[in-house]
Chains A and B, each alone.
Chain A
Amino acid sequence: MEFWTGSIGLSKVRAMPRSLADSYDEYVDGAKAAEQLGFDGYGAPEHHFMYDGFMPAPLHALSAAAAATKSIKLVTGAMLLPLYDPCDAASQAATLDVISGGRLVLGLGMGYRPLEFAGLGFEKRTRGARLVEAMHVIEAATSGEHFSFEGTHYSFENARLEPTPLQHPIPAWFCGGTSVKAARRAGEAGLAYWLANSPIDQVRVIIDEYRRAGFASGHGPKRLRVAAFKDVCIGSTVEEAERFRQGLIDTFYEEHILGYGYLVDDDGNHVYNPPRDHPMYQRFVDGIFCGTTDDVIEELKRYEEAGVEVLFLASMQRELIAEKIIPAFR
């Protein structure tokens, strides 16, 4: 099992008032700390036109992290690929791959906020299909000298990527949220799948559907790999951990999860500002696991048994996780 992490920040988070430049410094310090603590990867997110200055350029953030680290993997989580020309994205990724000594991993999401598509001039309706095609383009472009691709949305004939990356191909994951539909799409395309925060029962449903669709489409287990975002709150008691979770929700997640339409119901509709007892909201809250260190180890072992090979723990309790949780999986 690999453990990746990241920093809440690269923005002016209300819970932690500070300058944006200070949050950038903390982000780079976090990369150094994560490497020293033994994490395998360090992430950077992407959103645009946010009032709080949220990071819009994850490869740039990871480039800053690369300058301060030597060995930790540098992970976009998630880079919103339908908001890029895929060859530009591949070229930017290859640039960072070279600078970092071959440490880049691409977590690639489809995006969901309408104003990001409008602001950057891309169609939102086709984002899922374009994400799949663009991931195939990046795989082809970073695999060899020349490549061709013929799809519905993108077409390249005997093209050549500049610069040539160190990794062939640069590893990439399809970040599909918590949606069964997205998991099916990734499975059918034979793309490694990265789940968002979900309770373990939902995780099992999503992985089953991902694998079923993948095998049915002729893809083998080497391609059908699973990673998961997993927020965990650790306390000396469950109640203490739940208080910590409530703080995390109040100061960070509510705005993101409720205000921007991140939650998607079973019919594919984005849910804005739902009541707190809405099943989608409850499922998200339940996906943030609360417990003692032993409880958390037990919970994460369930993920391992379900076939998750990478966990992205975006926790503010990084030291505790490194000291108490990760050793149980080594």
Chain B
Amino acid sequence: MRVGLSWELDRELPFAEQWPVLLAEACAADRMGFDSIWIDESWGGSGTGTACWPTIMLTYLARRTKTVRLCAIRRPPAAAVARMAEELAVLDQFSRGRAGIAFSGDRDGAWRKRVEFTVAAMRPGALRFRGNDFTFPAGLEAPVPPGISRPAPESTYTPQWERGPAVPEFLAVTPKPFASQLPAWIEGGGADSLGAPLMRAACSEAEATEVVRGYLEQGGSGETAIERWIEFESATSEENRIAPVIRGEPEDLVIRVRDMAAVSGVQHLVWRRRPDAAHGIADLLRFASEVQPMLQA
């Protein structure tokens, strides 16, 4: 079982007061051997997430951490769609292959097309895309086929700097990631061909279990992830079963997490938490030293 961290911020307090605590906890988690850091996109003062631009914060962490995976939870953008692939590749290069992406946001046809484009744009080579709500590059029309297409091999090669002002029909989104393929998750699951499910803390354990099991039964090979609130304190097993928080002494936590993994098959636990300047790093150390070894065992 891998273990990562994600944060929910207090919307009454400025980000500027909470981010330094969060960043310190992320760096400490890296030193303690946690497996992943998840920063989720949040807008408008009503969200519960961490940052408006997760990849900027994660790129900062790329140079402050050594081994932890740096995962952005992001909606595919409605405009300048290629930017998301660029930013993820930059994060992946700065972290030497530690970037991950969980696609979030409301599902509609355009969402799926944008996700497919982002994934395809990070792969080697040039591409074009023709859809109803965007084309790449702009202005593509029939007879260009709908969806993603790749260029045929050129018989003669013209370097980019000799092509002049004409916009080619196929463009390579650059840079490419350090890794050959970024790990991808889908918030809430349900798009199995695009990534493994990431079940957020707000969803019930029953729902999370059903989605994760369904993904694995369909032959999904990605690393399934469930996000849960975790607190150290005494609790009865009955309370644990019904509460959205996994709460208890280290042994209780181990039992609950192992049970969850046994039932659902989930492979990655994401610890949802609030930045806590007073106790945060002590809690991380306790988890790393008392809980994680027993999860590994």
A: which residues have CB within 8 A of B? 11, 20-21, 24, 28, 48-57, 59-61, 63-64, 66-68, 83-85, 91-92, 95-96, 98-99, 114-115, 117-122, 160, 162-164, 166, 255, 258-261, 270, 272-273
Q: Does any Cβ of A come within 8 Å of B255's Cβ?
A: no
Residues of B with Cβ closer than 8 Å to A?
Answer: 14-16, 19, 23, 43-45, 51-53, 55-57, 59-64, 79-83, 86-87, 90-91, 93-94, 96, 134, 136-139, 159-168, 171-176, 178
Chain A residues near B14: list those with CB within 8 A: 163-164
A259 engages B161 (CB within 8 Å): yes
Q: By the criterion CB–CB under 8 Å, are B174 and A50 in contact?
A: yes
What residues of chain A lie closer than 8 Å to B59, measured between beta carbons?
Answer: 60-61, 63-64
B174 touching A98, Cβ below 8 Å: no
- Which single member of A85, A115, A259 contacts B79 (CB below 8 Å)? A85
Known contacts A59-B56, A259-B160; 10 further A-B pairs (Cβ under 8 A): A20-B175, A21-B96, A49-B173, A52-B174, A85-B80, A114-B166, A121-B138, A164-B15, A258-B161, A260-B161
| A residues in contact with B80, CB < 8 Å | 83-85, 120-122
Q: A49-B171, A49-B174, A115-B137 are in contact. Are A272 and B165 (CB under 8 A)?
A: yes
- Are B91 and A60 in contact, with the CB atoms below 8 A? yes
Closest to B140 in A: A118
Q: Is the CB of A163 within 8 A of B52?
A: yes
Which residue of B is nearest A100, CB measured? B60
When the two chains form their complex, are residues B161 and A56 in contact, meaning their CB atoms are under 8 A apart? no
Bound-complex Cα distance A122 to B139 (A): 11
Task: Give the nearest-CB partner of B45 in chain A.
Answer: A162
Q: Assess whether B134 is in contact with A20, with CB atoms less than 8 Å apart.
A: no
| Complex Cα–Cα for A67 and B19 (A) | 13
A64 B62 Cβ-Cβ under 8 A: yes
Q: Say whether B139 contacts A118, CB under 8 Å.
A: yes
Contacts of A98 in B (CB 8 A): 15-16, 19
Query: Which listed residue (B53, B86, B167, B175) contacts A115, Cβ 8 A?
Result: B167
Residue of A55, A68, A96, A163 with most chain B CB atoms under a 10 A cut-off: A163
Tell me if B63 and A67 are in contact (CB < 8 A).
Answer: yes
- Complexed CA–CA distance, A261 and B163 (Å): 10
Distance in angstroms between the alpha carbons of A66 and B57 in the assembled complex: 11
| Contact with A99, one of B56, B91, B172, B174 (Cβ below 8 angstroms) | B56
In Å, the complex CA distance between A243 and B144 comes to: 49
Q: In the complex the two chains form, what is the Cα distance from A95 to B94 in whole Å?
A: 18
B45 touches A56 (CB 8 A): no
Q: CA separation between A160 and B163, bound complex, in Å?
A: 43
Asked if residues B90 and A255 are in contact (CB atoms below 8 Å), the reply is no
A115 partner residues in chain B, CB cutoff 8 A: 137, 167-168, 171
Do the beta carbons of B60 and A64 come within 8 Å of each other?
yes
Contact A49 to B94, CB < 8 A, known contacts A99-B60, A162-B43: no
B171 contacts A95, CB within 8 Å? no
B194 to chain A minimum Cβ distance, whole angstroms, is 22
B52 touches A91 (CB 8 A): yes
Q: Is the CB of B178 within 8 A of A21?
A: yes
Q: B172 to A273, Cβ gap below 8 A?
A: no
In the complex, A59 Cα to B54 Cα: how many Å? 12
Min distance, Cβ B33 to any Cβ of chain A, angstroms: 20
A–B complex contacts, Cβ < 8 Å, 14 sampled: A21-B94, A53-B174, A56-B87, A56-B90, A60-B87, A63-B56, A64-B60, A67-B63, A91-B52, A115-B137, A119-B173, A162-B43, A163-B14, A259-B162
| Chain A residue with Cβ nearest B165 | A114
In the assembled complex, the CB of B248 is this many whole angstroms from the nearest CB of chain A, namely 35
Question: In whole angstroms, what is the CA distance A140 to B87 when docked?
Answer: 26
Q: Closest A-chain residue to B168, C-beta based?
A: A115
In the complex, chain B residues whose CB is within 8 Å of the CB of A51: 159-161, 172, 174
Cα–Cα distance between A96 and B19 once the two chains are bound (Å): 11
CA distance A134 to B86 in the complex (A): 22
Residues of A within 8 A of B16 (CB): 98, 163-164, 166
Q: How far is the CA of A61 from the CA of B81 in the complex (A)?
A: 20
In the bound complex, how far is the Cα of B172 from the Cα of A48, in angstroms? Answer: 9
Alpha-carbon distance A2/B23, docked complex (angstroms): 31
Cα–Cα, bound, A95→B14 (Å): 12
Determine whether the beta carbon of A64 is less than 8 Å from that of B19: no
- Provide the residues of chain B in CB contact with A119, threshold 8 Å: 82, 136-138, 167, 171, 173
Q: Which residue of A lies closest to B174 (CB)?
A: A53
Contacts of B165 in A (CB 8 A): 114, 261, 270, 272
Closest partner residue, chain B, to A92 (CB atom): B53
* Chain A residue, CB-CB nearest to B91: A60
Docked Cα-Cα span, A273 to B160, in Å, equals 12
